[in-house]
Amino acid sequence: MAKGLDPEYLQQLKSKNDLVEVVGAYVPLERKGGNWWGRCPFHHEKTPSFSVNAENQFYHCFGCGVSGDVISFIREIESVDFMDAVKILAERAKMPVPEMNFDTEKTAEQKRKRDAILKILRDCAHFYLNNLNSGRADAHVQYILDRKLASATVRKFGLGASLDFKSLPQYLLDKGYRRDDVLDSGAVIESEKNRRLTDAQAGRLIFPIINAMGDVIAFGGRVLEKTDFAKYKNTRETLVFNKSKNLYNINQIKKLKQAEGIKSLIMVEGYMDTISLFQAGFRNVVASMGTALTKDQARLAKRYADTVYISYDGDFAGQKGAIRGLEILRDEQVNVRVVPLPEGLDPDDVIKRQGYEGYQNCLDAAMPLIDFKLEILRRQYDLTKTEDKRNYIAEALKVIGEAESASLREDLLKQVRDKTGVTYESLKRDLDNLPEHPKEVQPESFPVKEDGADRNVKACRFILASVLFGAKYAKNFDLSRVSFDNSVHNTIAEYIKMRQKNGEPVRASALFDIFDEDTPELSQILDLSLGESLEGEGAARYFDDCVRTLERARLEEELARYSALCDAETDLAKKKQITRKILELTIQLKNF
């Protein structure tokens, strides 16, 4: 929910960032009727069910139920907090970003902590850089020379050096930073025995990790000698760093996209692969930092390119574990291609041995994900053995069943035929006999979600949606005629009545300043904005039925209340008075 900023500023920010334009920069949209449609960027789907309402400036997915306004969209798609989303939109609209007026001490402290950590990490990066250039980092400099990194490359990536355990924490404390903030930055750790502060990356070559906003959020460090410790080490998770939500070098990818545009990304595993490829001329490279690829990383990559070349090490059989990550990319509607490297080599090795052309040849030979999965299967089985061949065919047919077109399935079946000697016709019959996956429903046929709600709740939803979205038959309807027991329904009704009383337009997008985006009951009401659900004579009749349903429910509740009062009343005069009211209510109910 929007907190801490002037409501007038937020309204101006939203008005200068048209939701269709903002969403369209991330998701291809097509106009159908009064709304814009695309594939939901927040869940996997083949048929578009993600709708952008241009008039009311909100989005809603009729598949997974997510919804929100332009600020919540940026928060989700960019994986940032509220203020960072505001900054992104303000930069887009060329608006200044005001200071937040925090309404709670907790919120103010969280902002102070975040700002302090980012300052600490930036100072750490400068500290490490100065160490590298101090003349005291011989081992670090030698490693850089051995890897044939140019000084311009070292500067571009901000490489640095940690020389010992003590100097960094002392440097930060001398600058006046609080001990708890220094520890919360992740750059420094505390000994359990004596609470002594030490550099978390002590003695390592330092790789600053910078987010898309240009902030140093963490560090990677590499040991320079053989040791029992891990070769690479990342900053632990902190308030500003979650490895699963970031990609190394994404800051330079953002600049590259803004300056020239990007058609594809190359995704590698580690820091040195990234730097080596970048220096060789492949500037569209990022690293997953050794972690199994996550959904957040896939979404982050998709914001910059629709095609991603996965370029992990050349141990082809060892890439089996990467398939899940590749499927995550595919599920985010990314065109995934897998780069085959010479056995046992990583991208950095290929660059060192074969140069730009050698690696470009590997890129040119990149294969689609489905071909890669079949190749992984082929290497798992000895096709000269009957049982292995049968198992391979069974697994290969499951993979081929994922293909989206008949022509692709035909081509892949022919490849399996050539490898196994089994006839195409037999393979085709077996493929056709595989269980079919349920097909997704076209957006036009999405029904109102059946969630077990009773008749009265559904009536409340329809009445609120009709008024909220300006249905003709509900134009002059007075919401005071019905009562809403549900807190969400009541809040929406009060918002509408207040706007109507002041002669102001009712905006559905304003509800996201009141509720969290994932409020289930709000999602149910937004579902009713789909297509022609609120249009036509049928909708008008249903609206009248809903009003009568709620009015009848109110009368029945009132009748039950008076009946209980009558049973409990001992005063004869009062009992007669209550009985007359019961008779009046009974007559009203009969007229329904």
For residue 2, tell me if it sits in a domain: no
Pick the most confident of 8-17, 63-72, 362-371.
362-371
Q: What is the pLDDT of residue 166?
A: 95
Q: What is the share, in percent, of the chain residues with pLDDT greater than 90?
A: 35
- Of 119-133, 404-418, 539-553, 574-588, the one with minimum mean pLDDT is 574-588
Q: What is the pLDDT of residue 150?
A: 96
Q: What is the pLDDT of residue 110?
A: 77
For residue 235, tell me if it sits in a domain: yes
For residue 345, tell me if it sits in a domain: yes
Task: Answer with the one of 44, 69, 93 that is the final residue of a domain.
Answer: 93
Q: What is the pLDDT of residue 152?
A: 96
Q: Considering the chain, what is the average pLDDT of its residues?
A: 85
Whole-number Å distance between alpha carbons of 524 and 462: 10
Given a cut of 60, whether residue 440 has pLDDT beyond it is: no
For residue 60, tell me if it sits in a domain: yes
261 and 228 housed in the same domain:
no
109 and 226 housed in the same domain:
yes
For residue 522, tell me if it sits in a domain: yes
pLDDT in tens, 485-531: 788 888 888 888 888 888 877 877 778 777 776 677 888 888 787 66
Whole-number Å distance between alpha carbons of 451 and 465: 17
Pick the most confident of 85-99, 203-217, 494-508, 565-579.
203-217
428 and 474 housed in the same domain:
no
234 and 271 housed in the same domain:
no
DSSP state of 511: G
Q: Which residues contact 417 (CB under 8 A, 6 or more apart)?
A: 423, 424, 427
361 and 403 housed in the same domain:
no
Q: What is the pLDDT of residue 276?
A: 96
72 and 135 housed in the same domain:
no
How do the residues of the chain divide into helix, strand and coil, expressed in percent and rounded to 5? 55, 10, 35
More confident residue, 37 or 109: 37
362 and 496 housed in the same domain:
no
- Of 84-93, 206-215, 262-271, 581-590, the one with minimum mean pLDDT is 581-590
What DSSP element (H or E) covers 175? none
51 and 113 housed in the same domain:
no
CATH number at 275 reads 3.40.1360.10
CATH number at 89 reads 3.90.580.10
Binning pLDDT at 50, 70 and 90, where does residue 315 land?
low
For residue 358, tell me if it sits in a domain: yes
DSSP state of 456: H
Whole-number Å distance between alpha carbons of 38 and 243: 29
Q: What is the pLDDT of residue 133?
A: 96
Total domains present in the chain: 5
- At 350, list the tokens: 């290929």
489 and 586 housed in the same domain:
yes
Given a cut of 80, whether residue 442 has pLDDT beyond it is: no
351 and 416 housed in the same domain:
no
Q: What is the pLDDT of residue 154?
A: 97
Pick the most confident of 63-77, 235-249, 435-449.
235-249
Task: Answer with the one of 59, 93, 127 that is the final residue of a domain.
Answer: 93
CATH number at 177 reads 3.90.980.10
460 and 533 housed in the same domain:
yes
What range defines the domain where residue 80 resides? 7-93
- Of 65-79, 105-119, 439-453, 470-484, the one with minimum mean pLDDT is 439-453
Given a cut of 50, whether residue 340 has pLDDT beyond it is: yes
Binning pLDDT at 50, 70 and 90, where does residue 316 land?
low
Task: Answer with the one of 27, 60, 93 that is the final residue of a domain.
Answer: 93
CA–CA distance from 91 to each of 132, 216, 281 (Å)?
35, 20, 30
CATH number at 584 reads 1.10.860
Given a cut of 90, whether residue 312 has pLDDT beyond it is: no
* Pairing verdict, β 30-32 and 35-38: antiparallel
435-441 contact pairs (CB < 8 A, 24+): 440/45, 440/46, 440/47, 440/49, 440/63, 441/47, 441/49
Residue showing tokens 């990583």: 346
Q: What is the pLDDT of residue 122?
A: 97
Binning pLDDT at 50, 70 and 90, where does residue 365 land?
very high
- Of 266-270, 372-376, 479-483, 562-566, the one with minimum mean pLDDT is 562-566
62 and 157 housed in the same domain:
no
Alpha helices in 469-535 (DSSP H): 487-501, 520-527
pLDDT in tens, 374-412: 888 888 888 989 998 999 999 989 989 888 788 999 999
For residue 442, tell me if it sits in a domain: no
For residue 439, tell me if it sits in a domain: no
